[in-house]
Structure 1
Amino acid sequence: MAAGTPRVFVSHLSGVPVFDPNGDQVGRVRDLVAMLRIGGRPPRLLGIVVEVVSRRRIFLPMTRVTGIESGQVITTGVVNMRRFEQRPTERLVLGEFLDRRVSLVETGEEVTILDVAIQQLPARRDWEIDKYFVRKGRGGALRRKGETLTVEWSAVSGFSLEEHGQGAESLVATFEKLRPTDVANALHHLSPKRRAEVAAALDDDRLADVLEELPEDDQVEIIGKLQEDRAADVLEAMDPDDAADLLSELPEEDKERLLTLMRPDDAADVRRLMSYEERTAGGLMTTEPIILRPDATVADALARVRRSDLSPALAAQVYVCRSPDETPTGKYLGTVHFQRLLRDPPFTLVSSIVDSDLVALTPDTPLSVVTSYLAAYNLVSVPVVDESGSLLGAVTVDDVLDHLLPDDWRETDFHGREGVLRGR
């Protein structure tokens, strides 16, 4: 861990309030969710169990936590209000780690875990279990006797997975080392039964990333075997254009049922994308580019570009629009490219450096024209506007490549590298 990254003991988080960016309280922390890993790696923190006003417990992914400090947790905003259900690969930190008897690796002595420290990885939103606060000797946390000490996670045995384990838990832990496209390649070669087991064990965000890289037949098969509420959660976590492509492959009845279960805003984006022809700018675009108002600064833009969940193509530029700043926006004013953001002082208004020379595309622009446009101007993303000049979305070069390559390109073993798992 790099010096300066925050370390938090989980006992201090129990019951603390969770706030959205506007300062409104979402609920209170009731537990934390971790996943064990193989190869001597520390358990990864997946998210927080939050109890909302209605006493319902929901899951808040760590990727949507922007701060843990001063007795409070701050989120990025929208949270999924569906009830939290623990999965086989998940461990509750407060409920299952505390008071557990484990052994010290060096001496074999039994100790009781009294508290667990978590720490954020440098330059990422990922969190890991960092240290354990333990008591030597027999007896639980209430026993006064016995030396207490704080040890590294690696100094304790009892929280690791064996390499030879055959359950989905071990396989999912192994997949964690791979990029989504490599996990998809491995998943494609598993049997349908095993593929469904692994998909069920992956968390929503990870499964969404993997589904985006799978052939359409595999996508339909997996989404069809998930419980409907879970399927809707995964579709919400996918990029809207990929979710629209997947839903388009489903029977009309199944498609409408899943859209109804999705959050209204997410469903509206997907429905809008499904209204366009597939091989047009409207059918290719994502509805979630980086959008800023004219009075935003370069510092604001760089903070948005820095988000770890953005693809490089979307992070390469920001689009300046009048309010509202969600698609469809107010009037589209132009684009500011990432390199220009690096050249200007942080206090500079984006409206003063906007590039308004490039003409935006309309949603009915055919794929061939989109491809030529990106190539002619050396772009990785291009804006799409409606007849009134409002920004509808952006087409990225990776989505264009998906439609230029042969239909079965995802099923071809193009990796040519060792270490990609194969099912048996």
Structure 2
Amino acid sequence: MATGASRVFVSHLSGVQVFDPNGDQVGRLRDVVTMLRTSGVPPRVLGLVVEVVGRRRIFLPMTRVTGVESGQVITTGVVNMRRFEQRPTETLVLGELLDRRVRFRDTGEEATVLDVGLVRQGREWTIDKVFVRRGKGKGGALRRRGDTLTVEWSTLTGFSVAEEAQGAANLLATFEQLRPADLANVLHHLSAKRRAEVAAALDDDRLADVLEELPDDDQVEILGKLKDERAADVLEAMDPDDAADLLSELPDADAERLLALMEPAEAEPVRRLLTYPERTAGGMMTTEPIVLEPDETVADALARVRNADLSPALAAQVYVCRPPTETPTGRYLGVVHFQRLLRDPPFTLLGSMVDADLQPLPPDAALPLVTSFLATYNMVAAPVVDEDGHLLGSVTVDDVLDHLLPADWRESPPSNGSALLNGSSQEAADPGRAPGRAGVGEARDGGATEGPRGGG
């Protein structure tokens, strides 16, 4: 830790960049690994969970940390790229300690953990301070706004007791600036219990965005722990193609029950998507592209493209159709690309500038054909049109990639994932090293070791 800085609170570390001594970024800090000890002894901080290229999570021993300053972590530069796997004796500070209910040893009064402070003493890091909100409200429930104070770790008890209904407000506050894909990665690495608690604390729109980025099994697990009414609300907030993909993973009876609870207007496009085979243009398309009439103008199109809720792929073009403009639409006339919209005057009618030469895809087009179409014409999205010339939807490059990548692509390491960053391969070659990461007790800069990691 930098000179003059005696303590850092873990909420200030969430998401900070981790650098090697040369100033090159290693990754971002996602959690802190600690080991709880008995009789109120402050826990020893074992290391950091760092997310590197490809969203791979590795373990960085605290003996490799040389500084925590100005919102960044500095390492010795030797990083073992083995995937992090939490051991039974370990506790994740952000994932498992925040929002935990504990008690004061002297009074038995209940409190909620809002933050914890880490301090370095010599070469060992410990948790010595806890920022809590104390008190109970009526009926035994914790007050939403109680007295807050910072206390010594030793004054509290209950950290190692399994908690059935742990909240998630402070954990979410720590990650509130994360993109949905990054928050999904956080959820994926939490325990099933904590995933359910975090999902319960998210609002419907945020949870929908996160679910769209999670692996299928995580989606099914989270949706299965929601009450049916809320599950239907979340499905309504998802893009129809993502909602259809999720429902296709459920038993038919469960999927039909949730569809029946959705608003008919929201359920109808999802039902339609479920009729197409998965690896076809119809099965991958979204039913909510930008559709405009031929007598609308460039200004109208640009106003629609500016919608912040649209993905870049969907905003890259508008489709021109005769009314109605809700899919399946009236007759499809063609596409106008975003670059063309920027080149023509705002009053130009879309009907005068459509690209009608680009043949649309049929809904039964197989994945290889869709892939070839996008690659041949350098497109990020393509129209899907039925045999009668009606626009059914649009298939985007991100939907295609989801089907081209292996099922476990979110867990797949980068191509050089087994290498060490800015260091030797000695650690990776050590057959005695436990899978998951290097030990805290390893020598640093040629110094003596501190014993095996995980000791009290």
Counterparts in 2 of 1:212 and 1:159: CA distance versus 1, 3 Å: farther
- Residue in 2 aligned with 1:400? 400
Give the 5 Å matches for 1:229-268.
229-268=229-268
Structure with max Cα Rg: 2
The aligned runs of 1:205-220 (5 Å cut-off) are 205-220=205-220
Q: CA deviation at 1:212?
A: 0.7
- TM-score, normalising length: structure 2: 0.55
SS at match of 1:319: strand
Contact 1:374 1:381 in 2 (8 A): yes
Q: In 2, distance between residues paired with 1:183 and 1:273?
A: 27
CA spacing shift, 1:366–1:349, aligned 2, 3 Å: same
Aligned 1:223-234 pairs, distance under 5 A: 223-234=223-234
Deviations 1:149-205 (A, max 9, x none): xxxxxxxxx899999998400111122111111111110111111000000111111
Q: 1:324 to 1:217 in 2, by over 3 A?
A: same
In structure 2, the partner of 1:289 is: 289
Q: In the TM superposition, what is the alpha-carbon distance from 1:251 to its structure 2 partner? A: 1.0
- CA offsets, 1:395-420, max 9 Å, x none? 0000000000011112336699xxxx
Aligned to 1:222: 222
Structure with greater contact order relative to length (CA < 8 Å, sep ≥ 6): 2
- Distance (whole Å) between structure 1 residues aligned to residue 268 and residue 414 of structure 2: 36
Question: 1:413 and 1:266, CA in 2 relative to 1: closer, same or farther beyond 3 A?
Answer: farther
Q: Any conservation in 1 of the 2:168–2:201 contact (CA below 8 Å)? A: yes
Aligned partners of 1:360 and 1:383 also within 8 Å: yes
The offset of 1:253, in angstroms, is 1.1
Gaps of 5+ in 2: 1-10, 13-98, 100-144, 152-158, 160-165, 418-456
Letter in 1 for 2:273: L
Three-state SS of the structure 2 residue aligned to 1:378 is coil
Aligned to 2:361: 361
- Once the two structures are TM-superposed, the CA of residue 265 in structure 1 deviates from its matched residue by 1.4
User: Equivalent residues in 2 for 1:99-114 (5 A)?
Assistant: none
What TM-score, normalized to structure 1? Answer: 0.59
Residue 346 of structure 1: how far off its partner (Å): 0.9
- The amino acid that maps onto 1:361 is L
Decide which moves more: 180-189 or 407-416: 407-416
Identity of aligned residues (%): 73
**Who is 1:300 aligned against?**
300
Q: Unaligned 5+ residue runs, structure 1?
A: 1-37, 40-88, 90-157, 417-424
Cα separation, partners in 2 of 1:174 and 1:241, compared to 1, 3 Å: same
Local SS of the residue matching 1:351: helix
1:380 maps to: 380
Instruction: Tell me by how many angstroms 1:367 deviates.
Output: 0.3
Aligned to 1:181: 181
How much does 1:285 deviate? Answer: 0.3
User: How far, CA to CA, are the matches of 2:175 and 2:204 in structure 1?
Assistant: 14
Contact 2:167-2:198 at 8 Å conserved across structures: no
Change over 3 Å in CA distance of 1:372–1:160 after alignment to 2: farther
Alignment of structure 1 residues 264-343 onto 2, 5 Å: 264-343=264-343
Q: C-alpha deviations, 1:107-160, integer Å up to 9, x for none?
A: xxxxxxxxxxxxxxxxxxxxxxxxxxxxxxxxxxxxxxxxxxxxxxxxxxx899
Which residue does 1:171 correspond to in 2? 171
Aligned pairs, number: 262
Q: Is the 8 A contact 1:286 1:395 kept in 2?
A: yes
Q: Determine the C-alpha separation between the residues in 1 that align with 2:368 and 2:149.
A: 51
CA RMSD across the alignment: 2.4
Partner Cα separation in structure 1 for residue 246 and residue 414 of structure 2: 23
Q: Say if 1:184 and 1:211, in contact at 8 Å, map to a contact too.
A: yes
Q: How has the CA–CA distance of structure 1 residues 380 and 162 changed in structure 2, closer, same or farther, with 3 Å as cutoff?
A: farther
One-letter amino acid matched to 2:271: R
Q: What is the rounded CA distance, in whole Å, between the counterparts of 1:279 and 1:389 in structure 2?
A: 22
> 3-state SS of the aligned residue for 1:409?
coil
One-letter identity of the residue aligned with 2:302: L
The answer to whether the 8 Å contact 1:385/1:393 transfers is: yes
